[in-house]
Amino acid sequence: MKKIKETPSCLTCSIAKTCIFKTLPTEELEKIEYEKTVHFYKKNSIIYREGNRINGFYCVNSGVVKLYKTGLEGREQIIRFGKPGSIIGYRSILSGELACTTAKTIEDTVACFISGAKLIEMVTKHASFAMELMKLTCKELGESNKYILDIAQKTVRERLAEILILLIENFGIDDDNVLRILLTREELANMVGTATESVIRLLSEFKADNVIELKGRKIKIMHLEQLQKISNL
Amino acid sequence: MKKIKETPSCLTCSIAKTCIFKTLPTEELEKIEYEKTVHFYKKNSIIYREGNRINGFYCVNSGVVKLYKTGLEGREQIIRFGKPGSIIGYRSILSGELACTTAKTIEDTVACFISGAKLIEMVTKHASFAMELMKLTCKELGESNKYILDIAQKTVRERLAEILILLIENFGIDDDNVLRILLTREELANMVGTATESVIRLLSEFKADNVIELKGRKIKIMHLEQLQKISNL
DNA sequence: CGAATACTTGATTTCAGTCAAATCCCGTGG
DNA sequence: CCACGGGATTTGACTGAAATCAAGTATTCG
């Protein structure tokens, strides 16, 4: 409501443990601060599109971004989310390829754009930054590989439970055990890799089994252990 | 037959365009040469196991290695292959995690082991090496993400055709259009993420449609365009 | 407040997995 | 050289999970 469209500062931003810039010296942060451009996106805005060349990357300051690939009949496959502190779009800069996903906001979002040249400069000049970035990429790669296994071998039911756990880990739950992210049934389906109807049916089942409670898009976690059991670890 | 178990040299090895070490100065290569240990594996040997800590990575000199994750009922999901010039096991070094795949040779293989400390030293000391490594990782990440989409949305038939094309691109075909890698039906199934019987049935169909010819594990490509059409790009 | 979008439930279909049985193939040892 | 045993491959029959199709209800948003 009262959010002011204020330019976020890299110096205060980079304090967070999860921030990729955390090892950079202050003078470098100041240079980024000076060079970056800040963008304000309304919900459902596209930041960049799969297949396009992007000449920089984005650091999400507030809001949530879904990164998805588009399949043959236009069905989306959500690969991951960007949330405050995440960087998105860096993969294609580093690999020298076109963007492999579309980035679309699912909430009003503020993101800072930093040029690819600057990214490469930082990698070249600061070995600790290069290590951090590599660590991030390798973790992401591990997650993607894990998901290949899941999607190839697990049932939709197991995957849905797993996705819910993943969302809990990523976005947390509030005091009332309600998941701190609101997704449409279709978006859930596009994460799990299944049909919307299947997600609806399975959520109903979970609810009937008292594993979760549903109120619109709010999902309240009643029994995390149950979810874990359903997901098969 | 007449292959001699000879220690491969980093200096001659690194000439190849695809080699990750190609930007390193000669003196650094000499140091690697000195530090590395060379390992000779027979077919079906395990180089490292998913879930184990490995304190270095391997550079494949000759032979072929499959990298796979193991699912609940022990079914393998092949993530990628290592072939001459590939490096394997580096992901877990850089991310500081446990190995996320098992590496098993499917041919007699020679691979050089280089310590994780050395890898990190090279990343730190040589920005160009860091960039190359990052590029490699990011490309791999792009491929994994692509495969998530495929496996989530394509039919087994489409995926099998796609995997065959991928194998052609990776391992090539000989003068007689025969794929230069021999996999069991089960291994093909473990790439596609399906049952062995399904692969067998579909290969028979492809053969009946004159897209391929089969002689044991040899696959002869009769009509690549057909394969591409089946795979839906 | 009306249109559009999202959600839900039911009926039906189908792709692909599982199970079962037969055959093939290859290396080993007699 | 040949028989044997075990793994790999093939084919057929059956099953079932999940997709698709269809129709109605609820919500949201301009």
Tens digit of pLDDT for each residue in B15-46?
Answer: 888 899 999 999 999 999 999 999 999 999 99
Confirm whether A145 is domain-assigned. Answer: no
Confirm whether A136 is domain-assigned. Answer: no
Are B57 and B160 found together in one domain? no
CA dihedral B221, B226, B230, B233 (to 10 degrees): 100
The pLDDT value given to residue A111: 96
In this prediction, residue A1 has a pLDDT band, given cuts at 50, 70 and 90, of very low
Confirm whether B137 is domain-assigned. Answer: no
pLDDT at B112 over 70: yes
Are B119 and B184 found together in one domain? no
The three-class DSSP label of residue B139 is helix
Are B91 and B165 found together in one domain? no
For residue range A154-206, list pLDDT tens digits in order.
999 999 999 999 999 999 999 999 999 999 999 999 999 999 999 999 999 99
Residue B224, domain CATH: 1.10.10.10
Are A181 and A226 found together in one domain? yes
Q: Whole-number Å distance, CA B99 to C1' C20? A: 38
Are B9 and B109 found together in one domain? yes
A48 contacts chain B (CB < 8 A): no
Confirm whether B138 is domain-assigned. Answer: no
Confirm whether A67 is domain-assigned. Answer: yes
The pLDDT value given to residue A4: 53
Are B107 and B157 found together in one domain? no
Listed residues B91, B110, B127: the one ending a domain: B127
Listed residues B60, B92, B127: the one ending a domain: B127
The partner residues of A179 in beta bridges, in order of sequence, read A173
Query: DSSP secondary structure string, chain A?
Result: ------PPPHHHHTTSTT-TTTTS-HHHHHHHHHH-EEEEE-TT-EEE-TT---SEEEEEEES-EEEEEE-TTS-EEEEEEE-TT-EESHHHHHHTS--SSEEEESS-EEEEEEEHHHHHHHHHH-HHHHHHHHHHHHHHHHHHHHHHHHHHHS-HHHHHHHHHHHHHHHH-B-TTSBBS----HHHHHHHHTS-HHHHHHHHHHHHHTTSEEEETTEEEES-HHHHHHHHT-
Are A220 and A162 found together in one domain? yes
Are A12 and A102 found together in one domain? yes
Q: Are strands A109-115 and A37-41 parallel, antiparallel or unpaired?
A: antiparallel
The pLDDT value given to residue A108: 94
CB contact under 8 A, B77 and A153: yes
pLDDT at B2 over 60: no
* Size of the A and B interface in Cβ pairs below 8 Å: 142
The pLDDT value given to residue A179: 97
Confirm whether A139 is domain-assigned. Answer: no
| Number of domains composing chain B | 2
pLDDT at A7 over 70: yes
Max CA pair span of chain B? 56
For residue range A90-143, list pLDDT tens digits in order.
999 999 999 999 999 999 999 999 999 999 999 999 999 999 999 999 999 999
What is the domain range of residue B159?
153-231
E strands, chain B, are 37-41, 46-48, 56-62, 65-70, 76-82, 87-88, 102-105, 109-115, 212-215, 218-221
Confirm whether B132 is domain-assigned. Answer: no
Confirm whether A220 is domain-assigned. Answer: yes
Q: Which residues, by CB, come closer than 7 Å to strand C?
A: A 184-186, 196-197, 200-201, 203-204, 214, 217; B 155-157, 193-195, 197-198, 216
| Average pLDDT across chain A, whole number | 94
The pLDDT value given to residue A5: 64
pLDDT at B67 over 60: yes
Are B108 and B192 found together in one domain? no
Min Cα separation A158/chain B (Å) = 12
The pLDDT value given to residue B1: 40
